[in-house]
Amino acid sequence: MTKPTQARDDDSEALYWLKIAKGVLSGEIDPHNARAVLSARRQARSKPRIKPRVVRPSAKQH
């Protein structure tokens, strides 16, 4: 029997390859660049998002 973490890893690996196949078949991803494109997307999603600072005007604007 597989461990729960191993099953989860297998599922994410399968999902990874399904995304590559879908992108290649739809023409969205060039077959030669499929791994690089998905790796870049995966890294972009994993980066923490920084909220933009809201700059409020000061009370003194004379």
Q: Consecutive sets of 10 residues in the chain, 62 residues long: mean pLDDT of each?
A: 63 83 86 76 66 67 56
Range of the domain at 38: 12-45
Instruction: Judge whether 60 lies within some domain.
Output: no
SS (H, E, C) the chain: CCCHHHHHHHHHHHHHHHHHHHHHHHCCCCHHHHHHHHHHHHHHHHCCCCCCCCCCCCCCCC
Q: Count of alpha carbons within 13 Å of 48, Cβ hemisphere only?
A: 2
Indicate the number of domains in the chain.
Answer: 1
Per-residue pLDDT at 28: 84
Per-residue pLDDT at 11: 81
Structure tokens at 2: 């597989």
Instruction: Judge whether 59 lies within some domain.
Output: no
Instruction: Judge whether 51 lies within some domain.
Output: no
pTM metric for this prediction: 0.45
Instruction: Judge whether 33 lies within some domain.
Output: yes
